[in-house]
Structure formats: structure tokens, C-alpha cells
Amino acid sequence: MSSLLILNGPNLNMLGVRQPEIYGATRLEDIKANCVAHAEALGISCKFEQSNDEGKLVTLIQDARGVHDAIILNAGAYTHTSIALMDAIIASEVPTIELHLSNIHAREEFRHHSYISRVAVGQICGFGAKGYLLAIDAAAGLSEIP
């Protein structure tokens, strides 16, 4: 594991001001700084991106093919709607860890279904901003998963 893509979907640029009672008070730029530092400590280089645009996220996932060893994806609301993101993960052939700040299974029923889960190695949710660091640790250990 030497190169990681951390990808954030719609509305995650609003972290810190958007429903802090659900998503916490940490801003995305602080999460980014923590991720880069944590990955570096593990000897992993890390690219961190956010887009509100489904097509841009598809392109970023496609472009990860042969470039990044793993993707950590918080697809936001596209998690529950996007066959295009699911297909892009399959096409990229890059092991993908699904991530959510909130516990989507304890929330509204429409958040219980995830297209990403069908193709992800696993899912981390409910641990707030700390989940990003847990996901980096999971990515670092991917080669030990059968």
C-alpha cells in the first residue's frame, strides 16, 4: 500500500456547518490535514478530493485505475442512488472502502441501502471524522484480508 485516494461526495464540503449534530464540527480541510498526516506516518501518500458532481467522481474513480492502491469513498447521498459510481468502482478494479461519518443504518430507511456496499471491500460508518483515520488503517491492512 503506497498510494491512497480519499474521495468525498456531495455536500461534504459543508462539513463543520452542515448538521453538526449528525456530522460533527470538524471541517473537511481539517479532516484532509489529519488524513494526510496519518497516511504519511504509515508511509502512504494520499490524494484527497471532494466534488458535488457525480460525473467528476466517476472520472476520479476511473483515473485511480493503475495509479492508486486503494480508494476510501464517502459518496454522500450518491451512496444511495448511484449505479454510475458502483460501476466506476468495478471498472477501476481498485479496492474500495466505503466510509460514512454517520451510522447510515441507524438513520432514515432510504439511507440503509448502499450501491457502494455491493462492490466495496467493507464499510466504516458511525465514527464521525475519526472514521477517516480508521479507514486509512483498514486500507493499510488490505493485503492481510483474504
Segment lying near ligand DQA (by CB under 6 A), choices 58-66, 72-80, 81-89, 137-145: 72-80
Pick one of 4, 36, 70, 101: the residue that binds ligand DQA (CB under 6 A). Answer: 101
Taking alpha carbons only, the member of 20, 50, 3 closest to residue 129 is: 20
Pick one of 3, 13, 26, 102: the residue that binds ligand DQA (CB under 6 A). Answer: 102
Pick one of 3, 111, 130, 133: the residue that binds ligand DQA (CB under 6 A). Answer: 111
Distance, CA of 34 to CA of 51 (rounded, Å): 19
Segment lying near ligand DQA (by CB under 6 A), choices 28-36, 38-46, 59-67, 71-79: 71-79
Distance, CA of 108 to CA of 68 (rounded, Å): 33
Minimum Å distance from CB 110 to ligand DQA?
8
Name 6's bridge partners: 48, 72
Does 121 help bind ligand DQA (rule: CB under 6 A)?
Answer: no
Pick one of 79, 82, 96, 123: the residue that binds ligand DQA (CB under 6 A). Answer: 79
DSSP secondary structure string for all residues of 80-138: GT-HHHHHHHHHHT--EEEEESS-GGGS-GGGT--TTTTTSSEEEESSTTHHHHHHHHH
Does 82 help bind ligand DQA (rule: CB under 6 A)?
Answer: no
Does 133 help bind ligand DQA (rule: CB under 6 A)?
Answer: no
Which residue, 9 or 95, is less far from ligand DQA as judged by CB? 9
Does 11 help bind ligand DQA (rule: CB under 6 A)?
Answer: yes
Distance, CA of 72 to CA of 120 (rounded, Å): 9
Does 26 help bind ligand DQA (rule: CB under 6 A)?
Answer: no
Q: Which residues are catalytic?
A: 23, 100
User: What b-and-e string marks burial along 12-31, b requiring 16 or more CB atoms within 10 Å of the CB?
Assistant: bbebbeeeeeebbebebeeb
